[in-house]
Amino acid sequence: MLETGTALLLISVFSIVFRDKLACLRRQISGVANRFKKINYSSQMIIFSTPAALIVIASYVWFALPVFKAPIFNHYSLLANAFKNHQLHLIEEPPSVLLALDDPYDYALRKEKNIENFPWDASLYNNKFYFYWGPVPSLLLVFFGNEALIRIKDVHLVLAFTCGLFFYCILLSYSIWLSFNKAFPPWLFGISLLAVGLSAPTAWLLSSSRVYEAAISGCQFFFIGGCYWAYSSLKDKAPSPSKILLAGLHWALAMGTRITISPVIFFTTGMMLFYVLKQIKPFSLKSYLPMALYLCVPLVVAVAGLGWYNWARFGSILEFGIKYQLANVNYSVFHDSFSTRYIKENLYNYFIHPLKLRGLFPYLRPIENTFSNERLAGLVYISPYFLFAGLFVGRFLRPKNPPHNRDVDDLGNWLTLTLAGSSLISTLVILSFYFPATRYGLDFMPSLLLLATASLGEGYRLSGKNKIAGTVYIIFVALVALFSATASSLVAFPPQKEKYVIVLIKGIYQLLGFR
C-alpha cells in the first residue's frame, strides 16, 4: 500500500513539474504535423522515399563490400584490355597443356590433368580465349586506364548496375504512384521501395558477385531504364523523340549485355510502336516514321553489331561462344540447354523451393539443389510482395464505363501489359533453362516487382469506399513489403559475415543489460 501511494505521489509531482514542458512538446509536434500536411503529396513521397533509398543503397554496399572477401572475377576488365589492344580475343594465351588435350572441352579430362590455369567459362576457339557474355560492359570499361582496370573487378560492376537499376525503379515507381490519385499514404511509397530494392535475388547477387551476376544486373539496368524512358515519353502530350531515342538506346545496350533478353526487347518494342501509332491522330506516316526510327535504329545497330562480333570471332553470326565454353558441361555435345520440359521442375525450384529455419542469425538459410549445387529458396516465401502483380488482371475486368481520363487509363493499361508481358517472357526463358540458380531470378523479378507496385491500386479499388477495408489493405501491403525486404536480405546473408553481426547483436544485448 505504501509503495502504491509513493508511486502515485511521484506521478503527481512529475505531471506538475513537466506539465508545461509536455504541453509545449505536444504543440511543437502538432505544429510540425500541420506544416507537413501543407507539403504537396509528391514532396511527401520524396521525403519518405529518401531514407528508404539510403537503406537500400547501404544494404547493397554492405552485401558487396569486398573487405571480408577477395573478389577474383575480373572477366569484363580482361575483355576491356583486349578491346584496348584492338583485338576480340583475350590477351592471355591458352596454356599448351590445355591445347594438347584430345578434347579440351571435356571437363573430366581437364580435371584429370589438373588444368585450371585459365579464365573459368572462357570460350576456346582457334587457340584463342573469348568470352560469350555480351561486350557492352567491357566497351564501357575501355575508357579507364590500364591501372584502373586491374582494380576494377566484376563485383564493382554488379554494385554499380544494381544501384543504377534501383534508381530507375525509383523513377518508374514514382511515376506509377502518382497515377493512384493519392489513394495511398505517402509513407507507403517508401516501404514499397524497400520491397522493390531488397526483394530477392538482388542482395544474393551482391553477396556473390561474379561475371554472371554482372551480366544479369547490367542487362536489367539497361532494360528497366529503357522502360522508364519509354513510359516517360508516352506521358507527354506528344511522344518525345529524345526520350524514345533513350529508350531504344537502353534496350539496345541491354541486348548487347545479355542476349537472352532479346525476346523481351522485341515485345516491348512492339508495344511501344503500337502505342505511338495510336497516339498520332490523325495518322500520318510523316509523323510516325521518325518516332519509329528513333526507337528501332539503335536496336538494328545492336543486332548488326552483335552479328558482326560473332562472325569475326567464330565465323557465325549466331554463335556467341557457348559451344566452345570451358565449363563443367561439354556444350559442344550438349544441345538441350533450353527446353520446355524443364519448366515444371523449375517452377518448383524458383518459387516454392523450401528453405531452412534455424534459431541463430540470420534465421533463414537456402537449401542446396542437388542437381545444380546452387542454394535456392522459394520466392513465394521470401519475396511475397511480387504476388501483388496478379492484381493487374483486375484492371481489365472493370466495368466498361467511360473513364475519367482516357489517355491516363490507356497509358496505365500499356504499362501494365508491357510489364506483365516482359516478366512472363523473361520467366518462361529462365524456367526453360536446364540449370537452376537463384541469380537468374533477377532476369524477371524487377519487371514483376514493378508490376506488383503498378497493380496495388487494383487491390485498393476492390475495397470500394469502405475506409476500414482500405486501411486494412494498406497495412497488409506494408507488412508484406517489409517482410519481403527483410526475409530476402536474411536468406542472402553471406556466411562469412554472420559472425560480425552476431558479435554486434551480443554487444547490443550487453549494452541493454541482457545476457
Tens digits of residue pLDDT in 283-293: 778 888 999 99
Residue 207 has pLDDT above 60, yes or no: yes
More confident residue, 379 or 183: 379
Task: Specify if 100 maps to a domain.
Answer: no
Mean pLDDT of the chain: 88
pLDDT of residue 286: 80
Question: For 39-145, where are the alpha helices, taking DSSP H only?
Answer: 41-64, 75-84, 96-99, 107-112, 136-141
Beta bridge partners of 355: 366
Residue 122 has pLDDT above 90, yes or no: yes
pLDDT of residue 26: 61
Q: What is the pLDDT of residue 408?
A: 62
Would residue 131 count as lying in a domain?
no
Residue 16 has pLDDT above 70, yes or no: no
Tens of pLDDT, residue by residue over 480-509, are: 999 999 999 999 988 777 666 667 666 666
In the prediction, which pLDDT does 361 show? 83
Residue 432: pLDDT over 80: yes
Q: In this structure, are residues 454 and 178 in contact, taking their beta carbons and an 8 Å threshold?
A: no
Q: Is 500 part of any domain? A: yes
Q: Which domain holds residue 443?
A: 62-75+139-511
- At residue 4, the pLDDT reads 55
Q: pLDDT tens digits for 383-427?
A: 999 999 999 998 887 766 555 556 567 899 999 999 999 999 999
> Could you tell me if residue 25 is inside a domain?
no
> Rounded mean pLDDT of 158-169?
97
Q: pTM above 0.95? A: no
On whether residue 260 sits in a domain, the answer given is: yes
pLDDT of residue 68: 46
- 211 residue type, one letter: V
For residue 515 the three cell numbers come to 545476457
Show Cβ contacts of residue 186 under 8 Å, excluding neighbours closer than 6 positions: 41, 44, 45, 47, 48
Within a domain: residue 424?
Answer: yes
CB 80 within 8 A of CB 211: no
Query: What pLDDT score does 5 carry?
Result: 57
Q: What is the mean pLDDT of residues 57-66?
A: 89
Q: Which residues pair with 325 in a beta bridge?
A: 123
Q: Which is more confident, 49 or 29?
A: 49
Domain count, the chain: 1
Strands (E), 318-363: 355-357
Does any domain span residue 82? no
Q: Does any domain span residue 417? A: yes
Percentage, residues of the chain above pLDDT 70: 85
